[in-house]
Amino acid sequence: MTELRELVAEELAVPVDPRVTGVAKAIAARQGGPGRAILFYGSCLREEKLEGRMLDFYLIVSDYRAAYAKRWLALANRLVPPNVFYFEHHGLRAKYAVLSEADFYRLNGPETSNVAVWARFAQPARLVWAADELARDRAIEAVARAAPTLLAAAGKRAREKPLDWWRRAFSLTYSAELRAERPGRQASVVDADRERYVRFTEPAAAAIDRQPRASWRWRRIEGKTLSVLRLAKASATFAGGPDYIAWKINRHAGTEIALKPWQRRHPLLAAITLLPRLLRSGAVR
């Protein structure tokens, strides 16, 4: 695990656009004392033009009760993690998901059948803010669990090339969530930085300490059910949620969804009524 941890620490420390750091610090200031670390991830890592995009962050907190003034938000975060919030800072738009340090560690590991966290952090990310060195070290330890979990869950096929292993692994995780992505998106994640995935393969494989027991059939049932629950929860926590969801689906799936006024007023009903049509059309898989 030492070699993999060093690779992860090095990658997390790569500098980002100062505007991204500014957004992260503003999120940390908004959160206050319970904030421990903020990670930046997603497609904007590879983009120079940030205007008109949605920056993706994970805010790691010490404790859910301490993080929220409202108890229902703490309970929702604990029962169906993470909570997701919308944020704007100096003309940039962002969303951030909230997890406790304990949940972030757990959800990156093989004890967790749901793919949502470890599939994302097996990909490149940046640690853009940490409250102290202990918070930084804990974030690194948690992220270092993600790649071995992903590769172990996919299983290694005989004579399979490293990049094909990663491509197949991400393809499996995409099938276990409701995703508004064009076919082949999972391969492009790897192809965008092939050298990185080749470099990570051997240390990540060596760090596998157990084979996950969950079947991919179960992961798909669980993952898509949790995707719907998170979507419902986000309708109460995410300002402008329906417009963002429509924008993301249109951008990734090539659709032209236009929301009606009543759908903006009632985002949960909008999500329920849109989902069957999106599934039939293939816009969401």
Strand (E) positions, 90-220? 92-100, 125-130
pLDDT (0 to 100) of residue 109: 97
Query: Hey, what long-range contacts does 65-73 have (CB within 8 A, 24 or more apart)?
Result: 66/33, 66/34, 67/31, 67/34, 67/35, 67/98, 67/100, 73/237
pLDDT (0 to 100) of residue 25: 96
pLDDT (0 to 100) of residue 131: 96
Residue 128 pLDDT greater than 80, yes or no: yes
Q: Are 78 and 87 in contact (CB under 8 A)?
A: no
Query: Whole-number mean pLDDT of the chain?
Result: 87
Q: What is the mean pLDDT of residues 247-267?
A: 64
Residue 280 pLDDT greater than 60, yes or no: no
**pLDDT: is 91 or 229 the higher one?**
91
Q: Domains in the chain, please, with CATH?
A: 2-206 (3.30.460.10), 216-281 (no CATH)
Q: What is the mean pLDDT of residues 208-230?
A: 88
* pLDDT band at 53; cut points 50, 70, 90: confident
**pLDDT: is 254 or 93 the higher one?**
93
Closest Cα partner for 40 from 31, 49, 27, 51?
27
Residue 60 pLDDT greater than 90, yes or no: yes
* pLDDT band at 274; cut points 50, 70, 90: low
Closest Cα partner for 96 from 150, 17, 20, 8?
20
Name the burial class of residue 33, with classes exposed (0-12), middle (13-18) and buried (19+) by CB atoms within 10 angstroms of its CB. Answer: exposed
Percent of the chain surpassing pLDDT 70: 80
65-79, 132-146, 178-192: which is most confident: 132-146
List the structure tokens of 114.
């749901």
pLDDT (0 to 100) of residue 62: 96
Percent of the chain surpassing pLDDT 90: 63
* pLDDT band at 210; cut points 50, 70, 90: confident
